Amino acid sequence: MKDLIILLLFVSAVSCTSKDSGKVQRIDIETVKADVIGKDVQWVDVRTPQEYEAGHIDDAINIDISDSQNFKEKVEKLNKNEPVYIYCQKGGRSERAATLLKDMGFESIFDYSGGYGEWSQQ
């Protein structure tokens, strides 16, 4: 009986761990400058197309999080095994996008929480 309880606890722990396989890290502006700008990375602006056209950070592609179906379809084309860097205006939408990416199986997600608002002030 004791062995059965230990086995059930082990299975429970493993199944909970597998749901949390993706990792989200918040990054700052200095990390963006060092690790993203000019590098061959998946760099996504999750703001609206209008916001993107008004100004965006170098080399970012626009995948609007406010259109969730379109967001999921476009994000599926990214490489889930490579890091993906995201930002929005202030950090709220990118946090939501990070959660979706994690749920979709992306392994490494970097959320620039300062967003375009901070970037455009420099």
The yes-or-no answer on residue 88 being catalytic is: yes
Look at the alpha carbons of 26, 35, 87, 98 in this order and tell me if their dihedral is positive or negative: negative
Catalytic residue, candidates 88, 97, 98, 101: 88
Cβ proximity of 18 and 104 under 8 Å: no
Torsion angle in degrees (nearest 10) through CA of 83, 84, 85, 91 = -120
Give the residue numbers marked as catalytic: 88
